[in-house]
Structure 1
Amino acid sequence: MRYAFPKKEKLKSKKLIDLLFEEGKSVSVYPIKLIYLRTALPENVRIQAGVTVSKKNFKSAVRRNRIKRLLRESYRLNKGQVFNNSDDTFAFLFLYLGKEMPNFGEIAPKMVELLHKFLVKEKTH
């Protein structure tokens, strides 16, 4: 498993993002919430993922970007869990819900727990 997060795996489609908020299901492990939707994706990609941080909680763009970097990095390192245990195609959107500035040591275990929770929820459906 390569630990890459190539451009084709990044969620950029406005239509798909809107659809995620309308029809997506969610799992949450504070301070991260995952909204996901089983959907057909182009370019034989299994998962497209995006991250977002509330402007209301973090006024500074520098801080928001830092948190987004941490989320992307922890997803990149742990996405193998999902790839190895699911054959469907999904759109993922990770939301950071916390109000304090996190560090990687706090985010990484929560991401592992969140992806595990997602897999358990998907296996039951």
Structure 2
Amino acid sequence: MNASYSHKEKLKSEKLISKLFLDGNSVSAYPLRMVYLKTTLEDDTLKVKAGVSVSKRNFKRAVDRNRIKRLLREAYRLHKATYFNNMTAQYAFMILYIGKEKPTYIEVEDKMKKLLQKFIEKSIKE
């Protein structure tokens, strides 16, 4: 798995997103929360489809929400290969920022590592 976050890897399907929030499980590493669902994707070469989201309730200004989403995508992009290279099942997941303060990249990166590690540990048990 390379260190890119291509268009194919982005979670865009409304059906899949609604199914994800209805039937999915979650793990948290405050201020991040991941909702995930084991699924079959159209593209067999993909292992995961991911999306990021920031609450409009906590961050009224779009520039703040967009900055946090960029930080989340970058931290995910850099660390996904470490955690998902040996994975055989396909997953769809959404990473949510549930904090109330604007984070720094270092905080986001640290919590992203913890979140992905918790996801791997929980998915092995299932």
- Deviations 1:6-43 (Å, cap 9, x if unpaired)? 10000000000000100000000000000000001112
Aligned to 1:12: 12
- Deviations 1:19-71 (Å, cap 9, x if unpaired)? 01000000000000000000011122110000000000000001000000000
- Deviations 1:68-117 (Å, cap 9, x if unpaired)? 00000000001013322311000010000000000101000100010000
Q: Note the residue ranges of structure 2 that are not aligned, 5 or more in a row.
A: none
Q: For 1:79, what is the secondary structure of its paired residue?
A: helix
Count of equivalent residues: 125
State the alpha-carbon separation in 2 of the partners of residues 16 and 35 from structure 1. 12
Aligned to 1:27: 27
State the alpha-carbon separation in 1 of the partners of residues 101 and 78 from structure 2. 23
Query: How does the TM-score come out when normalised to structure 1?
Result: 0.97
State the alpha-carbon separation in 1 of the partners of residues 20 and 66 from structure 2. 22
Identity of counterpart residues, as a percentage?
Answer: 53
State the alpha-carbon separation in 2 of the partners of residues 81 and 24 from structure 1. 23
Tell me how far 1:2 sits from its aligned partner. 2.0
Q: For 1:85, what is the secondary structure of its paired residue?
A: coil
Q: Supply the RMSD in Å over aligned alpha carbons.
A: 0.9
- Does residue 107 of structure 1 match 2:118? no
- Does residue 117 of structure 1 match 2:123? no
User: Are the aligned partners of 1:81 and 1:116 in contact in 2 as well (CA < 8 Å)?
Assistant: no
State the alpha-carbon separation in 1 of the partners of residues 77 and 92 from structure 2. 15
Runs of 4+ aligned structure 1 residues displaced above 4 Å come to none
* AA at the equivalent of 1:60: R
